[in-house]
Structure 1
Amino acid sequence: MSTNFGTTPALRVAILSFAHTHAQGYAAVLKNYPGVELLASDPGDHPEGELRGAALAQQLGLPYVDTYEELFAWSPDAVIITSENTNHRADVELAASHGAHILCEKPLATTVSDARAMIAACEDARVNLMVAYPVRFSSAFDRLKKTNDAGHLGRLLSIRGSNNGKLPREREWFTQPALSGGGALVDHVVHIADLLDALMGSSVTSVTAVANQILYSDRAEAETGGLVNLTYENGTIASIDCSWSEPDSAPTWGGLKINVAGTKGSVDVDFFGPRIRGLETSTGKPVELPYSPNLDATLLESFLTSVRTGHQAQPDGYVGLRTLEIVTAAQRSIQTGETISLPRATD
């Protein structure tokens, strides 16, 4: 770790892989972040037509090395893992073996056994493991949770959630189950599952799901639309629409909404709703400019604070495990046509 006399030592933060498009957003926040030194690496053969590796690092203005061996020789204090989903376990175990605290992109893994192994590796190495669920850091969710905790909604009866977006085009691996673990269901269910986990603190007892590949069947190897129904231990019923249903011509990537209904009232939350809407004068096409806070920045601030203090930030690996258990149960439900029962979630 580099130090400056009389100042707090800078945190060395490494970005492992540019596979996930969120890597670019994290880099934009961190490259000028006070007290942080940044280094990235994106080794391997990259798909033709995708901007990756040293070329993307140069465009982003990031220091770059060609291999993870060089990256860990730099002795990072923390790493952000934004590789393909199936590579999360290997990358987390590698980072933990070097004593680095970890922020892992969602989903935590593609199998429950991998997720448990990752948690164990971090606990054995005594490093923090945090999962990248930025929406839980929104002020809208904070107000919703405080409203529910105060009892103003009464007993929760039902929750409807939707996380709809465009088919990922910048990174084809999102639509390839061998690298992603699935399609729209894997990509989108976990965000809402995390919010409900934090909102209620109740375990999911059963999962029923359906999915199809009607949309973009010529471009995707996995499901592009799905509906997941959850029953919670506290009696709440939740439904999650998790689809790549936004057209390529849509002015933004998509959105995330939930409706929470209780015995005393209901609340609708559109987490990415605040935006300026208009038309391009030259083309007449719709334009939408979001103006809500950068949730990636708030997520990263929480992670960096946990690295400096040693305190575990939320959502942690166990949250990642619980949300992954929901996804894998939904996949089994789709395969079998049956409702899947879950044991009490891991504490």
Structure 2
Amino acid sequence: MLLLIVAAASIQLHAESKPLRVVIVGLVHGHVQGFLRDLPKSKDATLVAIVEPDKALAEKYEKQYSLDHSLFHTDLDETIVATHPDAVLVYTTILDHRRVIEVAARHGVSSMVEKPLSTTMEDALAIRAASRKYKVHVLVNYETTWYASNAEALRLAEDNKLGDVRKVVVHDGHEGPAEIGVGPEWLPWLTDPMRNGAGALFDFGCYGADLTTVLMHGQAPISVTAVSQTDKPQIYPHVEDDATIILHYPKLQSVLMPSWNWSFARKDMELYGTGGMAITVGPSNLRTRFHGEKLEQTSEAPALPANVASSLGLLAAVLRGELKDTGDLSALDTNMVVMQILDAARTSAATGRTVMLKPLPQ
């Protein structure tokens, strides 16, 4: 009997450690290039199909990454039935997230989408409803989730090393999507307010909203005030390329500065508390100064554990039941609050008024 139990446990462990079967849905989001580049090195996932209706775009990626032609499909429903994936990785427009998640959910398949979760609160609520109805996971992938510097800064706050955090400042963005050479399949929808939700405000405002929501343990702000403008209308005639968003909490203000007007790419966060400060420097380093110290110190953040160090590692850990997907940077509950913030910021920028947030319907 003991041998049978050990053998059964061994078989279960082996099954759980097998790479996830994943389907890529969409090739119009440029972040898919990083996944295709890193996939051959991944122990967490194996690609079983790619769904892309644009045959010319599919052919481009097939040649660029030397992919097997049999991987490519055009219909998501048929592909899921044929390949039985564990999850879909969504690289469509943000507008299409809801459609893809709902289709996958009906088949009992979980989804990981690129940030932000959706373009509207209506779609976010529909996504949450599908996740609950079909008991599937929906995760949101942010580059900054895999920054050890962010994890360490949040840990310092959680451990009360900074005292009561009173001010958060988050800078995110780059010189602009056109300026950095975003591909022709990506730029048109990224600069379309319907398909992307907004311009820089959604594209980069979501990072700071995500980090602040986790810092605040899922609490939504009392109010959101935003100002946006277009400094380069000849390049971005339909969306803002610069924004400032102020999130007001009972004892904290978080100032988000998403922009397509930085002179260089940046993603950094500053936490200021009654006991000290922590400022992230790139993915791995921090500047800190604590109460009573005359000089700040620079240090390297501890490396993240393997199961939370990459999008595929986290996805695998969640689907295997090793981690619960609640309250963290990728979690659906966190990103429902992120969508409240983005939706309110868009309204505030358009109306010139502060938007008071109401509790989400449950």
TM-score (norm 2): 0.80
CA contact (8 A) 1:136 1:194 kept: no
CA contact (8 A) 2:27 2:52 kept: no
| Aligned-partner Cα distance in 2 for 1:265–1:309 | 37
Residues 85-138 of structure 1: CA deviation (Å, up to 9, x unaligned): 100000000111111111111111111111111111111111111111231332
| Aligned-partner Cα distance in 1 for 2:20–2:54 | 30
| Inter-CA distance 190–295: structure 2 relative to 1 (3 Å threshold) | farther
Residues 41-70 of structure 1: CA deviation (Å, up to 9, x unaligned): 343348xxxx83232133123343231244
Pair 1:209 & 2:226 matched: yes
Matched with 1:287 is none
Note the residue ranges of structure 2 that are not aligned, 5 or more in a row: 1-10, 286-302
Letter in 2 for 1:324: M
| Inter-CA distance 58–125: structure 2 relative to 1 (3 Å threshold) | farther
Aligned counterpart for 1:100 among listed residues 99, 109, 133: 109
CA contact (8 A) 1:176 1:220 kept: no
| Aligned-partner Cα distance in 2 for 1:195–1:224 | 21
Residues 179-230 of structure 1: CA deviation (Å, up to 9, x unaligned): 1111000101111111111122232110110111112533442110111111
Pair 1:153 & 2:162 matched: yes
Aligned pairs for 1:170-209 (under 5 A) are: 170=183, 171-172=186-187, 173-201=189-217, 202-209=219-226
User: How many residue pairs are counted as aligned between the two chains?
Assistant: 317
| Aligned-partner Cα distance in 1 for 2:45–2:353 | 49
| Inter-CA distance 118–310: structure 2 relative to 1 (3 Å threshold) | farther
| Inter-CA distance 192–105: structure 2 relative to 1 (3 Å threshold) | same
Measured on the aligned residues, the alpha-carbon RMSD in Å equals 2.7
CA contact (8 A) 2:116 2:202 kept: yes
CA contact (8 A) 1:25 1:296 kept: no
**Identity among equivalent pairs (%):** 26
SS in 2 for 1:166: coil
Matched with 2:79 is 71
Letter in 1 for 2:206: V
CA contact (8 A) 1:137 1:295 kept: no
Aligned counterpart for 2:311 among listed residues 295, 299, 307: 299
SS in 2 for 1:146: helix
| Inter-CA distance 7–344: structure 2 relative to 1 (3 Å threshold) | closer
Matched with 1:329 is 344
| Inter-CA distance 184–52: structure 2 relative to 1 (3 Å threshold) | same
Pair 1:261 & 2:268 matched: no
| Aligned-partner Cα distance in 2 for 1:264–1:99 | 47
Aligned counterpart for 2:58 among listed residues 47, 53, 59: 53
SS in 1 for 2:52: coil
Note the residue ranges of structure 1 that are not aligned, 5 or more in a row: 275-291
| Aligned-partner Cα distance in 2 for 1:126–1:174 | 31
| Inter-CA distance 56–162: structure 2 relative to 1 (3 Å threshold) | same
| Inter-CA distance 218–148: structure 2 relative to 1 (3 Å threshold) | closer
Letter in 2 for 1:300: L
CA positional deviation for 1:346 = 7.3
Matched with 1:34 is 43
Aligned counterpart for 2:100 among listed residues 69, 82, 91: 91
Residues 141-163 of structure 1: CA deviation (Å, up to 9, x unaligned): 22212211221211111111110
| Inter-CA distance 312–27: structure 2 relative to 1 (3 Å threshold) | farther
CA positional deviation for 1:27 = 2.3
| Aligned-partner Cα distance in 2 for 1:38–1:216 | 40
CA positional deviation for 1:297 = 5.8
| Aligned-partner Cα distance in 1 for 2:156–2:361 | 26
Residues 307-329 of structure 1: CA deviation (Å, up to 9, x unaligned): 22275434221211110110110
Matched with 2:247 is 230
CA contact (8 A) 1:40 1:57 kept: no
| Aligned-partner Cα distance in 2 for 1:33–1:55 | 23
Matched with 2:142 is 133
CA contact (8 A) 1:95 1:101 kept: yes
SS in 1 for 2:72: coil
Letter in 1 for 2:94: N
| Aligned-partner Cα distance in 1 for 2:361–2:140 | 16
TM-score (norm 1): 0.83
Letter in 1 for 2:311: L
CA contact (8 A) 2:200 2:258 kept: yes
| Aligned-partner Cα distance in 1 for 2:84–2:196 | 29
Letter in 2 for 1:329: A
